[in-house]
Amino acid sequence: MLFCHVLQPEDEHPLCLPQVLIESTDVIQLAPTVVSNLPALPFMKQTPRRLLTKTLYKKVQFHLFGKELLFEEMALTWEEWEPFLRSRLVTIRPGLQVEAGRYRCQRCHSNTPEKFGVFPCVRCGKECTYCRHCLMMGRITACTPLFRWIGPPPPLELKVQSTWEGVYSAGQELAAAEIVSSVQSKTELLVWAVCGAGKTEILFPAIEQSLQKGEHVLIATPRTDVVLELAPRLSRSFPGIPVTALHGKSDDKNSYSPFVVATTHQTMRFTEAFDTVIVDEVDAFPYTADEALVQAVNKAKKQDAAVIYLTATPTPELIKRTQHKRLDLAKIPRRFHGHPLPVPRFKWCGPWRKRLKKEQLPAAVSKWCRTKIAEQTPVFLFVSSVAIMEKTTSILQKLDPAICGVHSADKERHEKVKAFREGEIPILITTTILERGVTIPGAEAAVFGAEDSIFTESALVQIAGRVGRSHEQPDGEVLFFHFGKTKAMAAAHKHIKTMNALPFLQKEVTPIGKEEST
């Protein structure tokens, strides 16, 4: 299918239309060609001139708003598209565009040459370039048009009211107020909240206000686990509004709601859709490692949207931005229950890799594990690789066959975490996959082989943050078993001590410019 730019009678600005819809009254400005050869057109006002049935109008409006979709994703014929295109309710844009001699995918914003391949294309019958980076969402090629809704947003007749009835800690209360003010003034804010500060609840007032105004709210996170945990909590707290949860395997992909919780990958589906964007666990993999994901989140938000970054361990780049006053900062150094963070202890355990080869654990590690099993304290045991996890698990299973290991590609991962939560697994040996997002009341944590470079300062702080999260059991042991102390271990220790030393009341939220010298 080829596309052209045409002027309709009385039009000042061109439209992009497929060749099949050209009429004799249209003046062709740019001759029919592959869509990626055409420049993207600016968005013009609607010019209603074709009749549309209400049902079809609503269907397209709800399905397409805030997104850019492929022809195949909408199941409409060109004849059905025509009135939308001619009235400028929908515009067609090229899926790939050439910028400075390079292709850029307009859906995932990827532009690295390795991300593009060439294949014999059935759409255009030629050798055609396509984007590999977002292939799992349907192939975008040089001949692919993207459909975008530029008409009015879907009307909302929803009663949005948070039903959350918990009580904020002093720190939460101040941070919640900062978030409300950022969302109202459409600015950026970093919320640096220690693990267990209760950062989800502090979003509620801002989310409620934004939705009540008819705005669109996105919570994006690099981690599928967080989407799975957040979506039901948000549904319970905002019963008046459907929450769309998007991750690789979700069924919600075609439903419309102004309230979306999505993995950062899934934000590629959206374009200038959201007034408020909250990026939870902003420093987590793969968001920080993949510039295209940062671009995707940027593309999903409206240009003047409020952006709230949430984390317990901000990246050096984010901290630098706050220091240069290019990003506001609100800090919550205390947990919601008011108790300090458990401070990790270091325990030397000798050349443990050699021992593992002989099917043995260092005495210190096995002694600690036996004590915890006897005490019936659930324990996370973090290790640096799948191979070490498997070996350690098989050795520890001799103590108790219910002991389990888990890693990111484990198909039973969610079942195992559930069983651990329900007390069926005494020790869960895990790779860093569980360093965040999992809350097991009363659990303690140890890192076995803490000197491995995979255990960065932030990974170790997050791991320590798994402990002492409940009101009933606000403390517990965090042990780093090591064969040589690292800078990251020392930094994590200092990080936690510093947070614990920060004042508990009043100064917990220190807006930029008002920070007192400490």
Question: Which residues bind to Zn ion, rule: CB under 5 A?
Answer: 105, 107-108, 110, 121, 123-124, 128, 131, 133-134, 141, 143
* Residue 141: CB minimum distance to Zn ion, A: 4
| Nearer CB in complex with Zn ion: 96/459 | 96
Backbone angles phi, psi at 183, to 5 degrees: -65, -40
Quick one: which of 138, 150, 153, 151 has its CA closest to 257?
153
| Nearer CB in complex with Zn ion: 126/325 | 126
Write the DSSP symbol of residue 343.
P
Integer Cα distance of 3 and 92 in angstroms? 9
Instruction: Please tell me the total number of residues recorded for the chain in this structure.
Output: 518
* Residue 18: CB minimum distance to Zn ion, A: 14
What distances in angstroms separate CA 405 from CA 285, 417, 466, one per listed residue?
21, 10, 17
Residue 197, CA atoms < 13 Å, CB-side half-sphere: 30
Quick one: which of 282, 243, 247, 273 has its CA closest to 260?
243
| Nearer CB in complex with Zn ion: 128/227 | 128
| Nearer CB in complex with Zn ion: 141/210 | 141
* Residue 374: CB minimum distance to Zn ion, A: 54
DSSP-derived 3-state class of residue 413:
helix
* Residue 268: CB minimum distance to Zn ion, A: 7
* Residue 138: CB minimum distance to Zn ion, A: 10
| Nearer CB in complex with Zn ion: 68/201 | 68
* Residue 1: CB minimum distance to Zn ion, A: 9
| Nearer CB in complex with Zn ion: 144/458 | 144
> Residue 419 in contact with residue 404, Cβ under 8 Å?
yes
* Residue 98: CB minimum distance to Zn ion, A: 14
Place of tokens 């270091």: 346
| Nearer CB in complex with Zn ion: 28/121 | 121
> Residue 138 in contact with residue 92, Cβ under 8 Å?
no
* Residue 200: CB minimum distance to Zn ion, A: 31
| Nearer CB in complex with Zn ion: 107/335 | 107
Give the contacts of 239 (CB within 8 A, at least 6 positions apart): 163
Q: Which helix (H) or strand (E) holds 495?
A: helix 487-501
Integer Cα distance of 22 and 395 in angstroms? 72
First to last CA, the chain: 65
> Residue 202 in contact with residue 191, Cβ under 8 Å?
yes
* Residue 514: CB minimum distance to Zn ion, A: 43
Q: What is the CA radius of gyration of the chain?
A: 26
| Nearer CB in complex with Zn ion: 272/328 | 272
* Residue 31: CB minimum distance to Zn ion, A: 18
| Nearer CB in complex with Zn ion: 105/396 | 105
Give the contacts of 432 (CB within 8 A, at least 6 positions apart): 382, 384, 454, 455, 459, 463
In 1-101, at which residue ranges do the beta strands (DSSP E only) sit? 3-7, 15-18, 27-33, 68-69, 90-94, 96-99
DSSP-derived 3-state class of residue 306:
strand
Residue 192 identity: W
Backbone angles phi, psi at 278, to 5 degrees: -115, 120
Residue 314, CA atoms < 13 Å, CB-side half-sphere: 23
* Residue 222: CB minimum distance to Zn ion, A: 18
Backbone angles phi, psi at 348, to 5 degrees: -65, 135
| Nearer CB in complex with Zn ion: 139/335 | 139
| Nearer CB in complex with Zn ion: 123/339 | 123
Write the DSSP symbol of residue 36.
G
Integer Cα distance of 433 and 459 in angstroms? 10
* Residue 22: CB minimum distance to Zn ion, A: 20
